[in-house]
A and B are shown apart, each in its own frame.
Chain A
Amino acid sequence: MKHACTVALGAALFCLAGSSAALAHATLETKEAPASSFYKAVIRIGHGCEGTATTSIRVQIPEGVIAVKPMPKPGWELTTKEGQYAQAYDYYDEKLTKGVTEVSWTGGNLPDAWYDEFVFRARLPDRPPGTVIHFPIVQQCEKGVHRWIEIPEPGKTADDYKEPAPGVTLTAKP
């Protein structure tokens, strides 16, 4: 059992180590998911702006991502904005033509020294494997704002940008 604990602890720590490089930006915890699947988007906020606390997080839901349900967070006011989808999507027995296009957690206070996650659930679009779905995020702080909205141009990756939008890469439908 102790052996298993060690292994588990080590594995967990290694997972943290592997992902720590990206903790500087606003990122998504799960970076790959199958197309058309239900995806739990965990937005990780590792720091504030210019050393000050984060006060609001706003996410724009890109076209094709439907059935969005955000997770409420104590101390934060959760609001969503609805809009028309560009086309009708099949969702179980329904055809969805409109839904949540923007999710906002506002009025909170996340000090720069602390870390928090903002979660929502959504269904990813049916697109070819390898397609990256980007979620532009605006992080408002006491002093300043971070706009994680840069979408890499063809031929470039998120590493080439100062404030890239976090994304999830679609894999093949199961």
Chain B
Amino acid sequence: MAPYFPVAATRLVAAPLLALALCIFIAPVVWAHAVLLETSPEDGVRLDVAPREAWLRFNEPVNPVAVRVLDASGETVTAPDAMASDGETLRLALPDDLKEGSYILSYRVTSGDGHPVAGSIVFGVGTAAGIVTPDLTASNGIAIAAVVVRALHFAALLATAGGGLFIILVLGHRNPVKDRLTAALCLNAAVAALTAMLGIGLAGANLQGTSLNSLLAGSVWQTGLATSVGIAGLIALCGLLASMMGLALKGRAGTASLLVGALLTSASLATTGHAATAPPEWLSRPLVFVHGLMGAYWVGSLWPLIVVLRTTPTAESVDVVRRFSRLAVAGVIVLVIAGMALSFIQLGGPGAVVTTSYGWVWLVKISLVIVLLVLAVLNRQRLTPALAEGGSASRRHLDRSIRAELGVVAGIIVATASFGLTPPPRALLVQEGALESHHHEHEPDAVEKQEGAHGYATIVTAGERTAIIETDPAHLGRNQVKAHITGPGGSVLTPLEVTIDLAHPEARIEPISRTLSVSAQGTATGDVDLPLAGHWTLTLNVLVSDFEKVVFRTEFVVQKARGP
């Protein structure tokens, strides 16, 4: 203490002062381990309005080490200085623009005795805690963009391939009209190629669950290329190249090239998508190929027919139209049969038509196809003979009719492209009720993989005891954890109490704790909402007796499950 005091006074005063000082010094340290008494929002709650502030109330003042709120994608939404200490309560200011979704409040504090107290609570704004359709706006944007791009792609692809077929089968290579068509067909081919490439990027973005901005980065393109959409795009590009070459070349080489182009583009349609990957694949893929080829012939001939009507004299144009019509009848019959077969495979039966969203899209498409068939019959039976009889009026009527057909075809293509948004009923049957999205971008054997990819199960041993731990379905949102513990020799253990701690080391959030309920048979089950995808560690604390606790540790991966 102070050396300036007289020595005697020091001894009189110093001792009690020293004692007092030490008491004051020590007293705070004698406090117990801090305990979290209350939180706002509460753990697992669903709020209708985004809160402005979150707070944690402990039984004693604590020192915050790391307190933050993360959203469902693992991003921290609170500012580093948003935390304020108010005695025993820690207050965290939340941003004003908290969107709908799940959030995790992860806290780590030290109590007066230096021991850390840490944990995580989950809460949902506008949705149930942990039940996440990850960034719904972004995934919707991607899905809609994918449909638009796919529709444009189909239209341009079919127009190019069909135009080539029209030239080969109906016009003949030496026909001068071909030159007029070349420019338009090349434009179509360019659009088809561009949309094919864009479709690959969108497929990658859809798989990664990111927003449209991610198209600027490289990773979504790599992901997309690895899918069947990527392969289909490459095949389509080859076909388009062949078609363009066919337009440039003359004679038999040109014809062959155009034919190869048409076949390749139809093949690209059979490489990806719900319809092409429906089991049995040996049936569905050729059906899609044939359906696409016949569709290309029809769709791709409409614009050339308009051009022919405009530029060639009536007699010749009647000839062309008749030739087209003859082949079209056979083509349409094959088209419709292939379409019916595919519909049956996808829908499974007439019941699914009105009960599923896929069925509704199918209904729209079929209605438009019927309208188209009516128009085609009208053309063939009434307008073409009228054209043969002469008169510019009849030419105008036929022209308008074909333009109407073009409009209906556009609607049909959009409906076909929209199939990718909904899971076909056959996939729903496979999933045993658990609705999971079934996107256009799946690998060809995705259906087989999915039948087994439902949840996670593992066996962990600790000493003489074994635990079988199951997490179902190991996707974002509500998961059920089930544990079955056995003692030495396989005897079933009925624990007194079972709790689980789930931590996400990568996101650096503190463990989420849940208590499982123990059944009479010794199985412990409980629900937990997991709002982040990725690697989770699970610690299973089993109270075997009053005095013995066994700890089992395991890890599992939570996958993103995208909503329809």
Contact = CB atoms under 8 A, between A and B. Distances in A.
Interface of A: 2-3, 5-6, 9-10, 13-14, 16-17, 20-25, 46-47, 50-51, 58, 60, 112, 136, 138, 147, 149-150, 153
A162 to B, nearest CB: 9
Given A58-B546, A136-B547, A147-B543, A23 B113 contact: yes
A2 B15 contact: yes
B546 A10 contact: no
A5 B19 CA distance: 11
A51 B35 contact: yes
Contacts of A149: 547-549
Contacts of A138: 546-547
Interface string B11-36: 11011001100110110011111010
B32 A9 contact: no
Given A24-B111, A24-B113, A136 B15 contact: no
Nearest to A58: B546
21 contacts: A2-B11, A5-B15, A6-B11, A13-B23, A14-B22, A16-B26, A17-B26, A20-B26, A23-B32, A24-B31, A24-B32, A50-B35, A50-B37, A51-B35, A51-B59, A58-B546, A58-B547, A60-B547, A136-B547, A138-B546, A149-B549
Contacts of B250: none
Contacts of A136: 547-548
A51 B19 CA distance: 28
Given A5-B15, A9-B19, A51-B59, A147 B33 contact: no
Contacts of A21: 29, 113-114
Contacts of B23: 13
Given A17-B29, A46-B32, A58-B547, 14 more contacts: A2-B12, A2-B15, A6-B11, A13-B22, A21-B114, A23-B32, A24-B31, A24-B33, A24-B115, A47-B32, A50-B35, A50-B59, A150-B549, A150-B551
Contact of A6 (B14, B29, B59): B14
Interface string B539-553: 000010011110100
Contact of B33 (A5, A14, A25): A25
B371 to A, nearest CB: 70
A69 to B, nearest CB: 20
Interface string B394-416: 00000000000000000000000
Contacts of B32: 23-24, 46-47, 112
Contacts of A60: 546-547
Contacts of B548: 136, 149
A16 B12 CA distance: 23
Nearest to B113: A24
A20 B113 contact: yes
Interface of B: 11-12, 14-15, 18-19, 22-23, 25-26, 29-33, 35, 37, 59, 111, 113-115, 543, 546-549, 551
B12 A10 contact: no
A88 B35 CA distance: 44
A9 B549 contact: no
Contacts of B59: 50-51
Closest 5 CB pairs of A and B: A47-B32, A60-B547, A6-B15, A24-B33, A136-B547
Nearest to B23: A13
A21 B547 CA distance: 24
A14 to B, nearest CB: 8
B337 to A, nearest CB: 68
A5 B10 CA distance: 13
Nearest to A137: B547
Contacts of A25: 33
A60 B525 CA distance: 29
Contacts of A10: 18-19, 22
A1 to B, nearest CB: 9
Contacts of B115: 24
Given A6-B11, A20-B29, A46-B32, A13 B19 contact: yes
B290 to A, nearest CB: 65
Nearest to A159: B115
Contacts of B12: 2
A114 B115 CA distance: 20
A52 to B, nearest CB: 10
B33 A47 contact: yes
Residue from B111, B543, B547, B548 having most chain A Cβ neighbours under 10 A: B547
Contacts of B37: 50-51
B505 to A, nearest CB: 16
Contacts of B26: 13, 16-17, 20
A51 B59 CA distance: 7
Nearest to B115: A24
Contacts of B11: 2-3, 6
B552 to A, nearest CB: 12
A48 B181 CA distance: 89
